[in-house]
Amino acid sequence: MSTPSNTMSESFQVQSVAPAAFPASRAFYWSVRRELWENRSIYIAPLAVAAVALLAFSTSAIAGIWEKALRLDLTQAGEAVTQPYDVAAGMMMLTGIIVSVFYCLDALHSERRDRSILFWKSLPVSDITTVLAKVSIPLVVLPLLIFAIIVAMQGIMLLLSSLILLGRGQSVAALWTKLSFFRMSLLTFYHILTAHALWPLPIYCWLLLVSGWARRATFLWAVLPLVAIGGVELIVFRTGHFAALVGSRLIGAAPAFDSPDNMFPSGPMTHMAAGTFVSSPGLWIGLIVAATFLAAAVRLRRYQGPI
Amino acid sequence: MACIEARGLRKSFGPTIALDGVDLRVEEGRILGIIGPNGAGKTTALNAVLGLTAYEGELRVLGRDPWRERDQLMRDVCFISDVAVLPRWARVSQLLDYIAGVHPRFDRAKAEAFLAKTNIRLANKVRNLSKGMVTQLHLALIMAIDARLLVLDEPTLGLDILYRKHFYDSLLNDYFDRSRTIVVTTHQVEEIEHVLTDLIFMNRGRIVFQSKMDDFESRYLEVMVHPEKAAAARALKPMNERQVFGGSILLFDGVDRQELAALGEVRSPSIADLFVSVMGQQNDQTQGATR
């Protein structure tokens, strides 16, 4: 086997620097797995809150408190029937915000604090892959997880109330028409995507950037500048636009529905306004700001070593 | 092709100059030891090679610019920078999963075979392992990567003598195969003395001494001289002289062995002895310069 071409390829093999390389998506996938291993609160906290919410709902249903609403004519009961579903979903979304904030504040800090950044950097994973994997937690992983938990939770709630109704010999038809499960889930998904993934993204990216920059007290460094800007605005102009802006981003007050009065996914008057959302300058300005913070975080990680 | 090629490498942290124009060329298949006092710039030099720090000057590692292409470079380079930097929250099996997931040249079976010889179990968390075991684990992970350059920065700092010996033994027996290059820094010079093929001393950001170990043995000789022959020995301009019980030991650079044999018992100096003498000359020079 000593044809010229063989010898060529052999000598080439000796000199070539890196033959096989995995696709970038593979490094990204494993980097996300790493985040879930390190930060188990990402799924434990929402599951725990869901368990508590379910327990509360079962207690109320079995004890008959919730039944008062059912005793009314279901066509009139309206909000009283759907309210527990909205409250439970709201609790999950609030949990998602809290977990995201604390995750982002620690994401680029913990690897420097425990010096493991030296280990991560010894592997063929780029800084941009690492930072994108981290931002995917509040942008993709948590929203999907929160949505899945909400659907599962509301499904169990609906099943439970139906069983109670049937157990008392009442009809479930009214309940099921009142509470359009599929429509509610669809609107929930849309709401989480717009209001809790895309809208607050600049906030999460800011927190990531601070976590990659601050040597200690990341919370302080993340919050103080915001408080300072808001305070200066209040003193100089006697207005509170900046504070309102940050607050609305964080809680997810996005222009994603027809009317701000009708934002509950369970409400019959709630209608998606995807066109308004996509064409709102606020969305795009927010995304540009988020991308700027992310780019800075990627660049920063290249320079950073253990603290 | 040279594995590492540096020309005029500089780095300063504010007013502190960590690297002051380092020229270095490491061929493939060598085991290079970098010895120097604390703050000599060893770690900074290695960090530059690994793409962990920005620098001025020219530097190519395996033909790449480490600062701009760290992630590609890490397919062919691996390093243990400092002791125990493995994430404490991780399980051993998770580390194996992760590296197998991102590293095209990681052989998981090999890593598990290395681990099977230790007390480390796959279900263990890093936080529950002793410092020595963490280093064993890190070494097992690194040795399962088919890399062309391995960089070790104080890999055995703070480990007991058994772990240290085991570390270098497995590195030599199970890893080094003459096509790989290893660069190592350590304060425990005597432990790597027999391992090295090349030697560099660094001080104040510069390379102050450089030699192949083959040359080292023929070039540097140490003579134990009786007091009555001391004057004759000093005439041959020793690099260093130190007093011991019953005479003095003089270190010579490039003096004929036969000539020295007449003065007393001749032997090869240890790296540590040469290091002390070179550093002594360095300090004399600086003091002379400041005067």
Task: Tell me what the pLDDT averaged over chain A comes to.
Answer: 86
- Same domain, residue pair B17 and B71: yes
Q: Which residue of chain A has the CA closest to B148?
A: A17
Report how far residue B243's alpha carbon sits from residue B227's, in angstroms, rounded to the nearest whole number: 10
Among positive and negative, which fits the CA dihedral B124, B129, B134, B137?
negative
Residue A44 has pLDDT above 90, yes or no: yes
pLDDT, residue B168, reads 87
Q: Does residue B224 form part of some domain?
A: yes
pLDDT in tens, A143-157: 999 999 999 999 999
Q: Is residue A44 part of a domain?
A: yes
The reply to whether B171 falls in a domain is yes
Contacts with B262 (C-beta within 8 Å, 6 or more apart), sequence order: none
Residues of B with Cβ-Cβ distance to A303 under 8 angstroms: 54
Q: Is residue A7 part of a domain?
A: no
Question: B30 is in which domain, residue-wise?
Answer: 2-86+140-204
pTM of the model: 0.88
Better pLDDT: A291 or A254? A291
Cα distance between residue B44 and residue B207, in whole Å:
13
Q: Is residue B68 part of a domain?
A: yes
A258 or A185, greater pLDDT: A185
- Do the beta carbons of residue A303 and residue B54 sit within 8 Å? yes
| Amino acid B177: pLDDT | 81
Does residue B133 fall inside a structural domain? no
Number of domains chain A contains: 1
Same domain, B150 and B279: no
Q: What is the distance in angstroms between the Cα of A39 and the nearest Cα belonging to chain B? A: 9
Contact A239, A181 (CB under 8 A): no
Contact B98 A30 (CB under 8 A): yes
pLDDT at A70: 57
At A53, is the pLDDT very low, low, confident or very high (cuts 50, 70, 90)?
very high
Q: Whole-angstrom Cα distance, residue B20 to residue B13?
A: 12
Residue A208 placed within a domain: yes
* B52 with A305: Cβ contact below 8 A: yes
> Where among B204, B235, B260 does a domain terminate?
B204
**Domain assignment of residue A14, yes or no:** no
Whether the CB-CB separation of A58 and A157 falls below 8 Å is answered with no
Residues B185 and B284 reside in one and the same domain:
no
Lowest-confidence segment of A206-210, A228-232, A252-256 by average pLDDT: A252-256
User: Chain A: which residues have CB within 8 Å of chain B?
Assistant: 15, 17-22, 26-27, 29-31, 33-34, 37-38, 111, 114-119, 121-127, 129, 302-303, 305-306
- Cβ neighbours for A151, distance < 8 A, ≥ 6 positions apart: A185, A188
Phi then psi for residue B132, to 5 deg, are -65, -40
**Average pLDDT of the residues in A255-270:** 77
**B148 phi/psi in degrees, rounded to 5:** -100, -20
- What strands lie across the sheet with B264-267, from one edge to the other? B240-244, B247-253, B220-225, B264-267
What pLDDT, on the 0 to 100 scale, is given for residue A16?
42
Contact between B141 and B134 under an 8 Å Cβ cutoff? The reply is no
Q: Is B112 within a domain?
A: no
Q: Is the pLDDT of residue A192 over 50?
A: yes
**Does the structure show a pLDDT above 60 at A12?**
no
Residue entry with tokens 């590293």: B103
CA distance B25 to B4: 6
CATH number assigned to the domain comprising residue B15: 3.40.50.300
Domain end point (choices B204, B229, B259)? B204
Query: Which residue range is the domain that position A58 belongs to?
Result: 24-32+40-303
Model confidence at A165, in pLDDT bands (50, 70, 90)? Answer: confident
The pLDDT of residue B174 is 80
Ramachandran angles phi, psi of B233, nearest 5°: -65, -40
A305: pLDDT strictly greater than 50? yes
Strand partners, B289: none
- Per-residue pLDDT tens for B130-155? 988 998 899 899 999 999 999 999 88
pLDDT the model gives residue A72: 53
pLDDT at A14 exceeding the cut of 60: no
Verify whether the Cβ–Cβ distance B82 to A115 is below 8 Å: yes
Alpha-carbon distance A300 to A112, whole Å? 12
Name residues of chain B where pLDDT drops below 70.
83-84, 285-291
Rounded CA gap, B262 and B228, in Å?
A: 13
Q: CB B71 to CB A118 under 8 A? A: no
The length of chain B in residues reads 291
Partners of residue B56 on adjacent β-strands: B10
Q: What is the share, in percent, of chain A residues with pLDDT greater than 70?
A: 87
User: CB of B11 within 8 A of CB of B56?
Assistant: yes
The token duo for A41 is 């609160």
The answer to whether residues B44 and B73 belong to one domain is: yes
Evaluate if residue A277 carries a pLDDT over 80.
yes
Nearest CB neighbour to A115, from listed B50, B79, B85? B85
Separation in Å, CA of B195 to nearest CA in chain A: 24
Distance CA A208, CA A77 (A): 45
Between A133 and B271, the higher pLDDT residue? A133
**Is position B127 within any domain?**
no
A141 is a domain residue:
yes
* Better pLDDT: B132 or A218: A218
Q: What pLDDT, on a 0 to 100 scale, did the predictor assign at position A179?
A: 79
Cβ-Cβ contacts under 8 Å, B97 against chain A:
30, 33
Q: A101: closest CA among A165, A41, A14, A38?
A: A41
B contacts of A108 (beta carbons < 8 Å): none
For residue A302, the tally of other CB atoms under 10 A from its CB is 17
Cα of B6 to nearest chain A Cα, Å = 18
What is residue B84's predicted lDDT score, i.e. its pLDDT?
A: 65
pLDDT at A267 over 80: no
- Backbone torsions φ then ψ of B229, nearest 5 degrees: -100, 5
Taking alpha carbons only, the member of A113, A115, A106 closest to residue A134 is A106
Of B50, B72, B94, the CB nearest to A18: B72
Split into its structural domains, chain B has a count of 2
Confirm or reject contact between B108 and chain A (CB < 8 A): no
How far, in whole angstroms, is CA B246 from its chain's centroid?
A: 34
Q: Per-residue pLDDT tens for A57-108?
A: 888 877 766 566 555 555 555 666 778 888 999 999 999 999 999 999 999 9
* Final residue in a domain of this structure, among B204, B235, B253: B204
Say if B108 falls within a structural domain: no
Q: How many CA atoms lie within 13 A of A130 on its CB side?
A: 24
Instruction: Give a yes or no: residue B130 inside a domain.
Output: no
Q: Which residues contact B231 (CB under 8 A, 6 or more apart)?
A: none
Q: List CB contacts of A134: < 8 A, sequence separation 6 or more.
A: A31, A35, A104, A107, A108, A208
> What integer pLDDT is reported at residue A1 of this predicted model?
37
- Angle at the Cα of B187 from the Cα atoms of B38 and B218, rounded to 5 degrees: 115
The nearest CA of chain A is from the CA of B85 a distance in Å of 5
Termini Cα distance of chain B: 44
Burial class (CB in 10 A: 0-12, 13-18, 19+), A261: exposed
A17 vs B76, B94, B101: nearest CB = B76
pLDDT range class, residue A19, cuts 50, 70, 90? very low
Cβ-defined contact of B53 to A305 (cutoff 8 Å): yes
Q: Which residues, 6 or more positions from B225, have their beta carbon under 8 angstroms from its beta carbon?
A: B233, B247, B248, B249, B250, B263, B264
Do B191 and B64 share a structural domain? yes
Name the strand (E) or helix (H) holding A155: helix A142-167
Q: Evaluate whether residue A137 is within a structural domain.
A: yes
Is residue A20 within 8 A of residue B92, CB to CB? The reply is: no
ipTM: 0.88
pLDDT of residue A131: 97
Residues facing residue B79 across a β-bridge: B151
SS3 assignment, position A57: helix
CA-wise closest residue to A272 among A186, A201, A169: A186
Q: Which of A31, A37, A124 is opposite residue B90, by nearest beta carbon? A: A37
